């Protein structure tokens, strides 16, 4: 089985690329799903130093482009990014917010099988053409519709169930949980404001309000930080974002021959939890995330002590806590206290969400997995986008990307090759 490595990657600017007229409700698209896709693909090809004609196949991860942007058949769309991609096989993958991690995994399987040598992976989502009600509905279709979405359950509501389950299981008071979540949010904002590609970057709401400490968030009046789904508040929620990211992967032997910026995908783990949360008895931990971690770490031959950097799925602040524990960076029930104690910053031995995470970088759902891998790749090759760790050049990074209410769990171990 051939080992597989990343040789190039690109992340577009993340943000809300629309103009909305409040009086007429007319929406003008300032950067379409096509434009975002083409920018990411062309950027990744250039970063890898390859031509479109060098690509053997394409995989596209996107969640709900038909609902968000009236565009299905996204595999076909990707081919138009470069003349050399014409006639290449291109496949769309969907797994909610983990769509582009799964697209990457499918591409890896093809390279490992020898069906192709070099593959292109795109993740993209255009979310802001819809109003809040439309976005809420589109995302709700990624829930177990019969028992959740059809009954008015939203994703803030689903993750609020995790927050309540976690709080009850570990005996955490309301004030203590609120404090834990504020520390997580503040860390994302502090990192994100230094990421030039972040949705909430310089001049954004978190910067204007200087929400870089837990105290600043806790001191916000309720109208500035309202409850969305108790106990989760506005600043516990990730952003509705437009954006794309892309990667070029190839066999490690070929990567070594053509590039000196090689990051091997040393291990992957993919595990699915039961879909409906009513069927889970573990609404205080990510068992499937832990299983995915074990698979990825075993394949890579590492332990958590070897990891220098992690990007985890903070769609809601409670999920960053759960992901931190799922990876083994904190003991179960202790991640919130670890964040309060100042761990996982750029000064830690393993910073978490140094990009700003979904909380500040943004969460264009289908693009998130590819973006996580792209930003870890850039850190490992010494070309950090935004904040870089202060403990030296990282060599091993990990991503934990989930889909839906952590139903889909994807863990990747990335290792820089010298």
pLDDT surpassing 80 at residue 10 = yes
Q: What is the pLDDT of residues 310-320, one digit of tens each?
A: 999 999 999 99
Q: What is the pLDDT of residue 22?
A: 86
pLDDT per position as a tens digit, 74-120: 999 999 999 999 999 999 999 999 999 999 999 999 999 999 999 99
Q: Percent of the chain having pLDDT more than 70?
A: 100
pLDDT by residue (tens digit) across 350-378? 999 999 999 999 999 999 999 999 999 99
Number of domains in the chain: 1
Q: Which of 235, 270, 313, 363 is catalytic?
A: 363
The region that residue 27 occupies, defined by phi over 0 for left and psi between -120 and 50 for alpha, beta otherwise, is: beta
142 tagged catalytic: no
116 is catalytic: no
**pLDDT digits 0-9 by tens, 226-239:** 999 999 999 999 99
Query: 245 pLDDT exceeds 80?
Result: yes
Tell whether 215 is covered by a domain. Answer: no
Q: Is the pLDDT score of 39 beyond 90?
A: yes
Q: Which pLDDT value is given to residue 136?
A: 97
Domain enclosing residue 112, as ranges: 4-132+240-256
Tell me what the mean pLDDT of segment 287-313 comes to.
Answer: 98
290 occurs within a structural domain: no
Q: Let me know if residue 303 belongs to a domain.
A: no
* Catalytic-labelled residue, pool 97, 323, 350, 410: 97
Task: Work out the pLDDT band at 418, boundaries 50, 70, 90.
Answer: confident
CATH code (residue 245) = 3.40.47.10
Q: Would 71 be classed as within a structural domain?
A: yes
Residue 100 forms part of a structural domain: yes
* C-beta separation of 252 from 5 below 8 A: yes
CB 343 within 8 A of CB 321: no
Which of 369, 364, 404 has its CA nearest to residue 154? 404
The answer to whether the Cα torsion of 162, 104, 68, 66 is positive or negative is: negative
Q: Say if residue 224's pLDDT is above 80.
A: yes
Structure confidence at residue 353 (pLDDT): 98
Res. 2: pLDDT tops 80: no
Residue 328 is predicted with a pLDDT of: 98
- pLDDT of 346 > 90? The answer is yes
235 belongs to a structural domain: no
* Average pLDDT across the chain, whole number: 98
Report whether pLDDT(274) > 80. yes
Q: Assess if residue 55 is contained within a domain.
A: yes
Specify if 67 maps to a domain.
Answer: yes
């Amino acid at each position: 089985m051939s080992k597989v490595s990343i040789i190039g990657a690109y992340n577009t600017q993340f943000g809300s690329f629309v103009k909305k007229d409040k009086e007429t409700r007319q929406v003008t698209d300032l950067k379409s799903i096509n434009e975002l896709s083409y920018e990411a693909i062309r950027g990744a090809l250039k970063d890898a130093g390859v031509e479109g004609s060098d690509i053997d196949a394409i995989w596209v991860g996107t969640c709900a482009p038909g609902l968000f942007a009236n565009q299905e058949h996204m595999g076909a769309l990707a081919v138009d990014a470069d003349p050399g991609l014409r006639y290449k096989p291109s496949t769309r993958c969907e797994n909610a917010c983990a769509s582009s991690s799964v697209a990457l995994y499918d591409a890896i399987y093809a390279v490992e099988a020898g069906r192709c040598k070099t593959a292109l992976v795109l993740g993209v989502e255009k979310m802001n053409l819809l109003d809040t009600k439309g976005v809420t509905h589109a995302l709700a279709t990624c829930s177990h519709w019969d028992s959740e979405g059809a009954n008015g359950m939203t994703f803030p509501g689903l993750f609020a169930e995790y927050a309540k389950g976690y709080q009850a299981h570990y005996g955490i008071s309301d004030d203590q949980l609120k404090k834990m979540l504020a520390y997580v949010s503040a860390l994302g904002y502090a990192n994100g404001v230094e990421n030039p590609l972040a949705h909430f970057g310089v001049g954004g709401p978190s910067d204007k309000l200087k929400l870089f400490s837990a105290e600043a968030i806790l001191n916000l009046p309720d109208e500035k930080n309202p409850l969305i789904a108790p106990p989760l508040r506005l600043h516990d929620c990730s952003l509705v974002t437009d954006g794309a990211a892309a990667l070029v992967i190839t066999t490690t032997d070929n990567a070594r021959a053509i590039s000196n910026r090689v990051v091997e995908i040393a291990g992957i783990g993919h595990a699915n939890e039961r879909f409906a949360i009513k069927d889970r008895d573990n609404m205080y931990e990510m068992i499937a995330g832990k299983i995915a971690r074990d698979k990825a770490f075993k394949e890579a031959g590492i332990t958590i002590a070897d990891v220098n950097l992690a990007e985890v799925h903070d769609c809601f602040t409670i999920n960053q806590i759960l992901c931190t524990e799922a990876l083994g960076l904190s003991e179960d029930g202790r991640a919130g206290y670890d964040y309060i104690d100042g761990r996982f910053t750029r000064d830690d031995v393993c910073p978490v969400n140094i990009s700003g995470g979904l909380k500040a970088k943004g969460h264009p759902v289908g693009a998130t997995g590819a973006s996580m891998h792209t930003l870890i790749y850039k850190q490992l090759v010494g070309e950090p986008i935004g904040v870089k760790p202060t403990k030296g050049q990282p060599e091993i990074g990990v991503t934990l990307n989930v889909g839906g209410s952590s139903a889909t769990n994807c863990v990747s171990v990335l290792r820089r090759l010298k």
